[in-house]
Amino acid sequence: MVTAPGSRPQRSFLRTVGRTAGYNVLITGISAVTGVLLARWLGASGRGDYAATMAYLGLALIFFEVGLGSSVVYHVSRWRAVQADYVRTAAALLVPLAALAAVVAALVGVFLFGDSPARRGAFLVLPLSIAFCFAGAPPSFALQAINLGRWNLVRLVQPVSFLMLVIGAQLVTSLDVVLVVNLLAATFAGQTALAWWLYRRVAGDSGRRRRGYVRPLLKFGVLNLSSNAPNALNSRADQLLLAVLVSSAALGEYAVAVSLSVLAAPLIQAFGYVAFPGLARGEDIARTIRTSIRGAILVSVISLLIILAGGPFAIPLVFGPDYHSVTTILLVLAPGAAVVGVNQVLGDLLRGLGKPAAVALCEGFGVVFTIGGLLLLVPRLGVVGAAVTSTVTYLVVFALLLRSVSKSVQSAAEHPGVAPTSMEAG
């Protein structure tokens, strides 16, 4: 039998996506179990306090990291001979950024949540988690570029250990949000140690800080931040605003609904995780883009239909009577949930092509819809207004990103074999 040209690389790509998706499913399942346990053991108010803390952590990892994680993936993928120097330089750049993020977390806890002891305490211990996350970013992202198997292992360790610690702590004492955030920091510490150990085994060189690499790392990173920052605002601004305007119980219900709506996202993101470093290396650009988009959309639609069909029956059984409004919120979030994971894949495709600025432009339009919708609808409709805003924003961003990537596919077809736009190696 004659094998069609390009079929073997495509099968290899899909096998790698499949393995990564398998890890994503496992990670999502473990995280879902942990989320259910925390929702029950902390209660709606405690879950709301935890959601507010995690919303800040997510934003800190976007804004204060200034896109250096993705910059490491891109540069290590393109210049393997000097990968260790890029990783070491990125690690040095992240030290002062981690300190700044930690200080801001403490200030937010004291001045914004001073009247809420639980939230204030959670924000005051959050700097530990921030420090470990930033310390583990360079080796972890480097593994994504050079060894996806070990990168997947690093990603799996944290949710597994967090679940074990949460269960163990509940058996010994009664959980509260401050204790949970401390347990989270411990798991990030273990993940960071593993990431550095595995990376050193692959790289075999500790590398050196090079002043000449600071500029290209920051250049790509800042461009990537300009795309990730709007995405972070689009995905987390609703919970931060709700933390101020609605009760902790209402925020807890909304947080659960959001978590359920994006359950399939890790499956979908596998396409972007695998495609990003491949595109940065210039590997089979047009085919990789087409396969990633089609696969992401198919998986997204099928998964969402399953979630919507089973949600109304599973939510009361799993979460209990305190979360009676989750089903309604989930239905409102559904249209946007169908594309939120696909949007992340589209962004990774553009980043792999060296075009983070295109992602920034699309996500920037989304911020306009997010801010306008939240200010207009949340004071009137509460959590339902936030859900409507999220849905509209994600659909708008999807249309813009798809248009941008489609142009890239056309360009790749017209100029086959042309590598993506490169940046200086320093």
Quick check: is 422 in a domain?
Answer: no
pTM of full prediction above 0.85 = no
Quick check: is 395 in a domain?
Answer: yes
- pLDDT value, residue 413: 57
- pLDDT value, residue 421: 45
Quick check: is 171 in a domain?
Answer: yes
Quick check: is 142 in a domain?
Answer: yes
Token pair for residue 94?
């992240």
- pLDDT value, residue 267: 79
To the nearest 10°, report the CA torsion of 369, 370, 371, 377.
90
- pLDDT value, residue 416: 53
To the nearest 10°, report the CA torsion of 43, 44, 47, 52.
-150
Q: CB under 8 Å to 329, separation ≥6 — which residues? A: 253, 254, 257, 383, 384, 387
Quick check: is 27 in a domain?
Answer: yes
Quick check: is 264 in a domain?
Answer: yes
Q: CB under 8 Å to 21, separation ≥6 — which residues? A: 266, 267, 270
Quick check: is 230 in a domain?
Answer: yes
Pair 338, 298: CB distance under 8 Å: no
Pair 72, 280: CB distance under 8 Å: no
Domain count, the chain: 1
The residue segments making up the domain with residue 299 are 7-414
- pLDDT value, residue 322: 67
Side chain identity at residue 12, one-letter code: S
Spatial separation of the C-alpha atoms in residues 40 and 166, rounded to whole Å = 12
Q: CB under 8 Å to 245, separation ≥6 — which residues? A: 378, 379, 382
- pLDDT value, residue 34: 93
Side chain identity at residue 213, one-letter code: Y
Pair 12, 141: CB distance under 8 Å: no
Quick check: is 1 in a domain?
Answer: no
Q: Is the dihedral of CA 109, 113, 117, 118 positive or negative?
A: negative
Cα 157 to chain centroid distance, Å, stands at 16
Low-confidence residues of the chain: pLDDT under 70: 1-10, 114-115, 231-236, 320-322, 324, 408-409, 411-426
- pLDDT value, residue 97: 95
Pair 370, 234: CB distance under 8 Å: yes
